[in-house]
């Protein structure tokens, strides 16, 4: 992701890269796809302003239910490269501008801390490990003991029990 600065002065440079996405992504996700980075550099006082977009995607397992899922997004960036190095700024030297760190940072900022298959994912039941998105297993979970709605759940269970007994009687 390196842009060479030409010897003769220019005001603007455009760039368009394709590279393996893997090298820009955190280890917890995987990708065999390419990442596309396009934009331009405009000369400013003491450096360059980089603007453009990053199109990327990856595969992951849902943090809640482990279902394999895909993510893909185009994000925009607008950053400044200054000749004086400073920890908060991107640096460049007289010959080249390296966009690698900018791309990594933009992706880290964009990526959700919890990667879910769906925003409403119910996850796996901690008791029976079944996928709660697919079926309601009815297990009672300790964490829910303080939940005021728990009484309603107990009633549901009792009603179910009664229904079962009735069915047995009918059979007999």
Residues in the site for Zn ion, rule: CB under 5 A?
A: 62, 64-65, 67, 117, 121, 125, 127-128, 137, 139
Rounded least distance, CB 139 to Zn ion, Å: 3
Closer Cβ to Zn ion, 31 or 64, answer by number: 64
Closer Cβ to Zn ion, 30 or 166, answer by number: 30
The number of beta carbons lying within 10 Å of the beta carbon of residue 95 is 11
Rounded least distance, CB 57 to Zn ion, Å: 18
- Give the whole-angstrom CA distance, residue 157 versus residue 140: 10
Closer Cβ to Zn ion, 46 or 138, answer by number: 138
Rounded least distance, CB 158 to Zn ion, Å: 18
Rounded least distance, CB 154 to Zn ion, Å: 16
Cross-strand partners of 58: 71
């Amino acid at each position: 992701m390196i842009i060479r600065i030409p010897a003769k002065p220019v005001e603007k440079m455009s760039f368009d890269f394709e590279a393996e996405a893997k090298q820009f992504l955190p280890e917890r996700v995987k990708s065999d796809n390419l990442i596309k980075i396009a934009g331009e550099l405009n000369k400013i006082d003491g450096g360059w302003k980089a603007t453009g977009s990053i199109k990327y995607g990856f595969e992951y397992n849902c943090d809640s239910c482990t279902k394999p899922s895909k993510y893909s997004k185009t994000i925009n960036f607008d950053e400044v490269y200054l000749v004086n190095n400073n920890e908060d700024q991107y640096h460049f030297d007289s010959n080249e501008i390296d966009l690698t760190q900018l791309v990594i940072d933009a992706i880290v900022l964009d990526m959700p801390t919890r990667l879910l298959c769906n925003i409403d994912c119910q996850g796996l039941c901690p008791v029976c490990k079944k996928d709660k998105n697919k079926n309601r297993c009815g297990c009672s979970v300790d964490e829910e003991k303080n939940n005021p709605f728990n009484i309603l759940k107990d009633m549901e269970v009792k009603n179910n029990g009664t229904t079962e007994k009735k069915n047995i009687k009918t059979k007999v």
